[in-house]
Amino acid sequence: MTLRNKLRSLRSERGFDQQYMADYLGIQRTTYCNKETGKSDFTVTEAKQIAGLFNLSIDDIFFTERVNLKNTFIVCPVREVENS
């Protein structure tokens, strides 16, 4: 799920519109819309405010893809150590 869809879904579940979110963050509605649609970025402070409003972590809202490292091998170059 994209950030846009995630925020829209969270907003609609709680009956919030973009104007409510903008007012909550203290920004213009057009600015909020640009941020929600990915045209600009939320500040760290705004991300914290949004996470608090929805009682979720910043990761749950803003990082939409999870990486599963189970059964993944990480290859690191090996450096030979000289014997002294």
Residue 77 in any domain: the answer is no
Instruction: Name the band, by pLDDT with cuts 50, 70 and 90, for residue 73.
Output: low
The number of folded domains in the chain is 1
Q: Which CATH number covers residue 20?
A: 1.10.260.40
Q: Note the pLDDT tens digit of each residue in 14-25.
A: 999 999 999 999
Q: Which domain holds residue 50?
A: 3-62
The answer to whether 23 touches 12, Cβ cutoff 8 Å, is no
Please provide the size of the chain in residues: 84
pTM score, whole prediction: 0.72
The answer to whether 66 touches 1, Cβ cutoff 8 Å, is no
Residue 14 in any domain: the answer is yes
Q: Note the pLDDT tens digit of each residue in 28-57.
A: 999 999 999 889 999 999 999 999 999 999
Name the percent of the chain lying above pLDDT 90: 56
Centre a 10 Å sphere on the Cβ of residue 35 and count the other Cβ atoms it contains. 24
